Amino acid sequence: MRNGEVLRRISLNRAAWNEVFHHDHHSAYVFTMTPNEADNDIAARMFGMGLSEDPGTGSAAAALIGLLAEQEGPIGQFDRVLRQGVEMGRPCRIHLQFRKEGDALTHGAIGGEAVVVAEGVLDLED
Report residue 23's pLDDT band, with 50, 70 and 90 as the boundaries: low
pTM for this model (two decimals): 0.81
Determine if residue 2 is left, alpha or beta; phi over 0 gives left, psi from -120 to 50 gives alpha, anything else beta: alpha
Domain edges within the chain: 4-111
pLDDT for res 109 = 96
pLDDT for res 50 = 67
Neighbours of 14 (CB within 10 A): 9
Report residue 18's pLDDT band, with 50, 70 and 90 as the boundaries: confident
Beta strand 92-101 with 104-111 is antiparallel
Q: What is the mean pLDDT of the chain?
A: 89
pLDDT for res 24 = 67
Distance CA 120, CA 44 (A): 30
Architecture label for domain 4-111: Roll (3.10)
Percent of the chain's residues with pLDDT above 90:
60
pLDDT for res 5 = 87
